[in-house]
Amino acid sequence: MRKVFGKIHLWLSIPIGIILSLICTTGAILVFATEISEAIYPERYFTQKVLDNTIALDKLIPMVNAQLTDNSVKSVQIPSDPKRNYVMALAEGKRVSAYVNPYTGKVVEIYSYLDSFFGKVMGLHRWLLFGARDLGRNIVGYTTLVTVLIIISGIVIWWPKTKKQLKSRLKISTENGPKRLLYDLHSSLAIYLSIGFLVLALTGLTWSFDWYRQGFYAIFGVKMERRPENGGQKDASSPKRGERPPSPVKDDRRMNQSARGENSPPKPADRRIKPGTEKGEKQEGRSPEEDSKTVDYAHWEMALNNIKKTVPEYKSITISQGSANVAPLSQYGNERKADKYSIDPATGAIQEVKLYSKAKKSDKIRGWIYSVHVGSWGGLTTKILTFLIALLAGTLPLTGYYIYYLKRKKKWQKREA
pLDDT tens-digit map of 246-277: 444 444 443 344 334 444 433 333 333 333 33
Mean pLDDT of 337-364: 94
Total tally of structural domains belonging to the chain: 1
- pLDDT band at 105; cut points 50, 70, 90: very high
pLDDT, residue 242, reads 41
Q: How far is CA 343 from CA 54, 257, 340, in A?
A: 22, 15, 10
Q: How far is CA 166 from CA 158, 159, 195, in A?
A: 9, 8, 17
Mean pLDDT of 281-310: 73
Rounded to an integer, what distance in angstroms lies between the CA atom of residue 56 and that of residue 78? 11
| Distance between start and end Cα atoms, the chain | 32
For residues 97 and 43, the answer to whether their CB atoms sit within 8 Å is no
Estimate the crossing angle of helix 361-374 against helix 210-219, to 10 degrees: 110
Q: In this model, does residue 184 exceed pLDDT 60?
A: yes
Least confident of 13-17, 112-116, 148-152, 169-173: 169-173
For residues 286 and 46, the answer to whether their CB atoms sit within 8 Å is no
**Burial of residue 23, with CB atoms counted within 10 A of its CB: 0-12 exposed, 13-18 middle, 19 or more buried:** buried
Q: In this model, does residue 288 exceed pLDDT 80?
A: no
pLDDT, residue 252, reads 42
Rounded to an integer, what distance in angstroms lies between the CA atom of residue 392 and that of residue 189? 8
Q: In this model, does residue 109 exceed pLDDT 60?
A: yes
- Report the percentage of the chain scoring pLDDT > 70: 83
Higher local confidence (pLDDT), 278 or 191:
191
Residue 171 belongs to some domain of the structure: yes
Q: Is 207 helix (H, G, I), strand (E, B) or coil?
A: helix
Residue 147 belongs to some domain of the structure: yes
Containing structural domain, residue 155: 2-32+126-223+381-416
Mean pLDDT of 370-379: 97
- pLDDT band at 175; cut points 50, 70, 90: confident
For residues 322 and 345, the answer to whether their CB atoms sit within 8 Å is yes
Residue 109 belongs to some domain of the structure: no
Mean pLDDT of all residues belonging to the chain:
86
Query: Considering only CA atoms, which of 24, 49, 368 is closest in space to residue 190?
Result: 24
Q: In this model, does residue 187 exceed pLDDT 60?
A: yes
Rounded to an integer, what distance in angstroms lies between the CA atom of residue 44 and that of residue 86? 10
Residue 63 belongs to some domain of the structure: no
